[in-house]
Every structure is written in structure tokens, then in C-alpha cells.
């Protein structure tokens, strides 16, 4: 198996100089955000004042991570163009579907009832602190796994560009994100996402252009792939791992099941109004389509120009393309876009996971009398603790970047059942919600680890979610629903948000 470092010559000085400038910019934005972060609402949902530019890029940057910029190109490098079915076909819907199904209603409830987290919504809808605890604990566990996957990418980048051990990059990026999230919370995360989103798009465009150039042009690349293995150009791919069932699973996963991701769910609480939401969806969708399509395509193109990578080594493909084909300074600047992909996701994960511990567990379950000032202070220290857990997973690296992301994404996706039924079905009960998600999570983990044949070729999340829905509907029909007061709060007492032109045209 080829050592990926033989393809490149580390260039530490340009890399550290570029990354230092980038981190300085991120730090400055985080400092500015910290100066105006005074309340829990500021810390967790930006007090519902995010504009279209910030909202759209924050959603896009949080959704697209090291998995998109390193994990998925690694898959397309291994299997060919079939690997692009992982996310590209579902991109056009990954913001539109959540916005249509839950976004409008969540935005109203967030402002009307003061919801700051996904757990706030679930516990209020089902009148249950048990659901609050259940969701918070599961959410934090899966989010920490996702954070670990992002830090893995930073380690790969550092090793490629400097020759230093991967763990140094894992620790370095983890500490930087912890610091600016600890200071600025969601406001710091979302403001930095704008810069990070622009860098991600730029890096995707340049990486694609580089992959085409070193491969001899698109025509030559296509011809070479056909000679090497015609399966690189068709489904189910060179390894046969993307048949139609997997293809359909990926489309559904990365569009519909984003509803269950707490980091994206919470973004609707940050939006100012409907016009902001509409513009944010357009901006975010365009950013996702452009960046993911090009960066994943670059992975397939690289099959011709960079050979010999296998297993976890394929995670190196994007930084290797940049480092081996561009001047050191330019490559180092662009690699900040890959680092941005991880940082923009880690910051969102970190803030939401912190909310799960401090607000959902401590304030609402352990110490209801805790003041906002106490929770605000505690949130900053919990951010450090959770961030360190993510760093630990990144150092251990129990699986590939994409493998970690896919597992955690699926575990959170099970919660789409109580969210959707809670929003659209008055009869949905707390007993139905609790029984169904416990059943669904156990089934999902069992199928991922041992009983993969039960999925019939689909991703286990698809099968487990349908089973979860069936259990929840059945149990809800046999158990009491929420009180009439709660039903009215969630179905009858919601009025459209006022459209304030001053808000609409204020700072993005």
C-alpha cells in the first residue's frame, strides 16, 4: 500500500503562514461576535436575528464538512463517478425540504415560545422531560462522533503539508474552534461561516480545475478511466458498492433526513423572517451544489493522475491534488477552504452539543433555578469539555471520515419521526415518541454493526426510520396524546411572523 506522503514534498512555512492569517481572521470575527453575545439567546440562536447571507452560508457550511471535502472525494477516488451519488443528487433539496416541512413553523415557534434548541421543541411538544433527557444524551453522543470526524481531516491536511503527525492538526484545529465558540457561541459560529463558506466554494472550484489539468483534460480523463476500468464511469461503480438501492438511500438521507440534524434544525430559530428564510435557502443551495459537485468530481478525476491510494489513505486525495499541483503559498491558502469545511461544522456541532448539556440537561432537569448568567458561564466551560472529547475521537480515528459522519448522521436521523409527526399529527404522544426512538436507535446500531442484510441494500437509516414511524403511530394510537393546551400552542395559536422591512434590509 502506497504511503501518500511520497507524492508530495511538505512545505511547512507557506502552510503555517497562510493558516496563521486565516486563524487570525477567524479569531477576529469570533472576538467581534463575543462582544455582542450577552444572553443565552445570543449564544444559542443569535437572538433570531440572522440575515439571508449569514443564514444561508451558515446552513450550507454546517451541512458540508470534512466529509464533503475529504471523505466523499475519497469515495469517488475509490469507486468512480458512482460515488457522486452520495450527495450531489440530493443537494437541490437538502435545504428546500427541511424549510418546507418544518422551517416556517419552527421559526414562528422559536420567536413565540423562546425555543433555543431542538430538544426545547421536542420536550414542549410532548410535555416530557424524559424526552428532553433522552434526546439530549443521544444528541451529544452522536455530535461528538461527528466532531471527531472533522478533526481527523485537519490531521490529514497538516501531515500532507508539513509532515507533522496527524494528531497535531487534530489538536490544533480543535483548540481554535473551542476558543471562538466558547467566546461567541452561535453568533461567532455563524459569522465565521460566511468566510468559511466562501473559502469552501473557492477551494472546490480550484481543486476541480487542477484535477482536470493534471489529468490531461476531461476527454483524456474519461478515456483513461474507460481503459483502466469501465465501471469507474457507471453505476454501481468500480467496487459495486453503489447499486440503485444505495443511490436512492443517499438522495433521501442528505435531503429529507437533514430535518433531524440538531445543528441544522436550530438554524431555523436564528432566521429573522420568511423573506430571510427564502433568500437563505437559495444562497445555501447554490453554494452546496457548486462546491460539492466540483470537489467530488475532482476525486474521480484524480484516479488518473494520483495512483496507489487505498483504505484510509484515500482521505488524502484533495490536499494531495492541491499540494502537488500548485505553488506552495497558493496551495496553502486554498487548503484553508478544506480546513474551513471542518471548522464550520465543528463550531455548529459544538454550540448545539453545549446547549444539550447546559440548557437541556442541567438547567431544565438538574437545576431549574439556575440563572441565565450561571448557564451562560457554564456553557463556555462545557464547550471546552465537549471539544476535548471530539479531539480525543479525532486522535483515535476509529473509522474513515465519511464512515464516522454517516454513522452519526443516521443516529440523529431517527429523530425525524417524532419531529414530523409532532408537527403534523395532533395525536402523536410522548409514549409513542419515546418507545419509537429507543426502538429505532437500537435497531439502527444493530443493523450498522451486524445485521446489514436486514436493510435489503438500502442504508439502514431508511429501513429503521420507517420502522420507527410505524412503532410511533401504533403506540400513539394506544396512549394519551398531549394536553389540549399544548395542542393549541403547537397547532392553533401560531400566527404569521410580521414582516419588518427594517429587519429585512438590515445587516446580513
pLDDT of res. 503: 43
Domain coordinates in residue numbering, the chain: 4-406
Q: Please name the residues in contact with 133: beta carbons below 8 A apart, sequence gap of 6 or more.
A: 360, 361, 365
Q: From CA 504, how far away is CA 496, in angstroms rounded? A: 15
pLDDT of residue 272: 78
Tell me: domain 4-406, CATH 1.10.510.10, correct? no
Closest CA to 472 of 508, 425, 411: 425
| CA gap 78, 60 in Å, rounded | 26
> Strand pairing partners for 46?
none
Distance CA 85, CA 81 (A): 8
The predicted structure's pLDDT at residue 5: 46
- How far is residue 347 from each of residues 22, 56, 460, measured CA to CA in Å? 16, 16, 28
10 Å Cβ neighbour count for 46? 30
Distance CA 407, CA 405 (A): 6
Say what the pLDDT of residue 458 is. Answer: 87
- Please report how many Cα atoms fall inside a 13 Å half-sphere around the Cα of residue 343, on the Cβ side: 38
Of 302, 245, 229, whose CA–CA distance to 77 is shortest?
Answer: 302
pLDDT of residue 355: 78
Read off the DSSP letter of residue 271: B
**The dihedral sign for the CA sequence 18, 31, 178, 62:** negative
In Å, what is the CA distance from 465 to each residue of 98, 133, 413, 416, 488? 16, 21, 8, 8, 28
The pLDDT of residue 480 is 93
Spell out the residues 6+ positions from residue 254 whose beta carbon is closer than 8 angstroms to its own.
86, 87, 90, 91, 94
- For the chain, which residues score pLDDT lower than 50? 1-2, 4-7, 501-508
Contact 502, 276 (CB under 8 A): no
Amino acid at each position: 500500500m502506497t504511503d501518500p506522503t511520497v507524492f508530495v514534498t511538505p512545505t511547512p512555512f507557506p502552510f503555517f503562514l497562510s493558516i496563521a492569517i486565516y486563524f487570525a481572521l477567524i479569531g477576529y470575527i469570533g472576538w467581534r461576535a463575543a462582544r455582542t453575545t450577552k444572553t443565552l439567546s445570543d449564544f444559542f440562536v443569535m437572538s433570531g436575528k440572522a440575515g439571508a447571507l449569514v443564514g444561508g452560508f451558515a446552513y450550507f457550511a454546517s451541512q458540508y464538512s470534512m466529509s464533503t471535502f475529504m471523505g466523499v472525494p475519497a469515495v469517488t477516488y475509490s469507486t468512480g463517478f458512482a460515488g457522486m451519488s452520495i450527495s450531489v443528487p440530493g443537494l437541490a433539496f437538502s435545504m428546500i425540504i427541511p424549510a418546507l416541512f418544518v422551517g416556517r413553523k419552527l421559526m414562528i415557534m422559536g420567536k413565540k415560545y423562546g425555543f433555543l434548541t431542538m430538544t426545547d421543541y421536542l420536550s414542549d411538544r410532548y410535555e416530557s422531560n424524559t424526552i428532553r433527557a433522552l434526546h439530549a444524551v443521544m444528541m451529544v453522543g452522536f455530535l461528538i462522533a461527528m466532531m471527531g470526524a472533522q478533526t481527523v481531516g485537519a490531521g490529514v491536511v497538516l501531515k500532507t503539508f508539513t509532515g507533522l503527525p496527524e494528531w497535531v492538526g487534530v489538536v490544533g484545529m480543535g483548540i481554535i474552534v473551542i476558543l471562538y465558540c466558547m467566546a461567541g457561541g452561535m453568533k461567532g459560529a455563524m459569522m465565521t461561516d460566511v468566510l468559511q463558506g466562501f473559502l469552501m466554494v473557492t477551494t472546490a472550484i480550484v481543486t476541480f480545475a487542477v484535477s482536470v489539468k493534471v489529468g490531461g483534460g476531461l476527454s483524456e480523463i474519461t478515456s483513461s478511466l474507460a481503459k483502466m476500468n469501465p465501471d469507474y464511469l457507471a453505476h454501481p461503480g468500480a467496487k459495486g458498492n453503489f447499486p440503485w438501492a444505495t443511490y436512492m438511500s443517499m438522495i433521501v438521507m442528505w435531503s429529507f433526513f437533514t430535518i433531524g440534524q440538531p445543528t441544522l434544525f436550530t438554524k431555523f430559530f436564528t432566521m429573522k423572517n420568511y423573506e430571510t428564510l427564502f433568500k437563505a435557502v437559495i444562497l445555501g443551495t447554490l453554494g452546496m451544489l457548486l462546491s460539492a459537485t466540483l470537489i467530488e468530481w475532482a476525486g474521480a478525476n484524480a484516479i488518473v493522475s494520483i495512483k496507489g491510494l487505498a483504505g484510509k489513505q484515500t482521505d488524502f486525495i484533495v490536499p494531495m491534488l492541491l499540494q502537488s499541483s500548485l505553488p506552495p503559498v497558493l496551495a496553502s491558502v486554498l487548503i484553508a477552504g478544506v480546513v474551513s469545511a471542518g471548522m464550520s461544522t465543528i463550531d455548529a456541532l459544538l454550540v448545539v452539543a453545549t446547549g444539550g448539556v447546559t440548557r437541556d440537561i442541567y438547567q431544565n432537569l438538574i437545576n431549574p433555578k439556575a440563572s441565565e448568567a450561571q448557564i451562560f458561564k457554564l456553557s463556555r466551560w462545557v464547550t471546552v469539555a465537549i471539544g476535548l472529547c471530539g479531539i480525543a475521537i479525532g486522535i483515535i480515528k476509529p473509522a474513515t471520515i465519511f464512515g464516522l459522519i454517516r454513522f452519526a448522521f443516521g443516529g440523529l436521523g431517527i429523530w425525524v419521526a417524532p419531529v414530523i409527526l409532532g408537527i403534523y399529527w395532533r395525536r402523536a404522544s410522548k409514549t409513542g415518541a419515546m418507545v419509537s426512538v429507543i426502538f429505532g436507535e437500537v435497531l439502527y446500531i444493530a443493523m450498522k454493526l451486524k445485521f446489514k442484510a436486514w436493510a435489503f441494500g438500502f442504508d439502514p437509516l431508511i429501513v429503521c426510520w420507517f420502522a420507527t414511524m410505524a412503532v410511533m403511530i401504533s403506540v400513539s394510537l394506544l396512549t394519551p396524546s398531549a394536553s389540549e393546551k399544548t395542542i393549541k400552542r403547537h397547532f392553533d395559536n401560531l400566527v404569521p411572523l410580521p414582516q419588518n422591512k427594517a429587519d429585512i434590509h438590515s445587516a446580513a
